[in-house]
Structure 1
Amino acid sequence: MTPEERRRMVEAWLAKADQALADAATLHTRESLTGTMNRCYYAMFYAASALAIHDGFTFHKHRAVISYIHREYVKAGRISKDLGRGLLEAFDRRTEADYHAMVHFGLDDVAELLDQAR
C-alpha cells in the first residue's frame, strides 16, 4: 500500500467511525440500547483500525485490532488505560448485545459507553 493509499484508507475508517458515532447518538435518543451498544463499539473499532492502518498494519479479527491497540498504545502510554479498557469493554458489551437475546442494558451504562466512544 502506498502512503497515499494508506492515508485514504485511514480517512475512510475515520469517516466510518464518525458515522457509527452519529448513529449511536441517534439510537440512544430513541432508547435503542442494544443498537447504541453496537454502534458505539464499531465507532471505537473503526477508529482503532485507522490507527493500526496508519502504523502500517491490517488485521482480520476484532481481537487482533484490540490486542494491537493495547500492546502499541496502552502499554506504551500513548493512550490512557481507561480508553484501552473502554475498547475491550465495548467489544464485550457489543457481543452481548448482538448475540444474546435476554441481555438488558441500563440507560446509564449505555450513556457511559457513548461518552467513551466520543
Structure 2
Amino acid sequence: MENKKIELSQYRMNQAKETLTVARDCVEGNHYKDSINRSYYAAFYAIKAVLALSEIDFKRHKDVIAHFNKNYVAQGEFNREIGKRIARLQQKREKSDYDDFYIASKDEAFEQIETAEMIINAVEVYLTSKNKSDSI
C-alpha cells in the first residue's frame, strides 16, 4: 500500500511538471488565458501529490485547496505565502476560464507560471524530506 501512495504522488508531480511545460508553451504561442489555466492546474496537481501520501482526495477543487491550507499550510508544513498564492492562482484561473470579456496579459501569465513553479518547488522539497524521514 505504501508503494501505491508514493507512485500516485510521483505520478501527480510528473503531471504537475508536464502541465507547467504546457503553460510555458501557451505563453510562447500568445495564449495567455490558457497559460493561466495550465499554471493553476500545475500547482493543483502538485498539491494533490502531497495529499496522495495521506490517501486523501476530493472531487471539488475548493475542497482540495481547503484541506491543504488547513492541514499543511496552517500546520506549518508549508509557508503561508503558498496558501495565498494558491488562492490567487485559483482566482485568476476562474477569471480567465469563466469571465467572457477577461483579457489576460503576458505579464499575468508569467506571474502565474512563476507562482506555479514556486509551489511545485516547495512541494518537491516537502516530498523529498517526507520520503527521507519515512525511510529512517
TM-score computed with the length of structure 2 as normaliser: 0.81
Runs of 4+ off more than 2 Å: none
Percent identity, please: 22
Amino acid in structure 2 at the alignment position of 1:72:
N
1:106 is matched with 105
Equivalent residues in 2 for 1:1-118 (5 A)? 2-118=1-117
C-alpha displacement of 1:106: 2.2
Deviations 1:78-117 (A, max 9, x none): 2122211111111111111112221112222221111111
Deviations 1:33-62 (Å, cap 9, x if unpaired)? Answer: 100000000000000011011122111110
Structure-1-length-normalised TM-score: 0.92
Shift in Å at residue 73 of structure 1? Answer: 1.6
Q: How many residues align?
A: 117
Gaps of 5+ in 1: none
* 2-structure distance, mates of 1:79, 1:7: 19
Give the gaps of 5 or more residues in structure 2: 118-136
After superposition, the CA RMSD in angstroms is 1.1
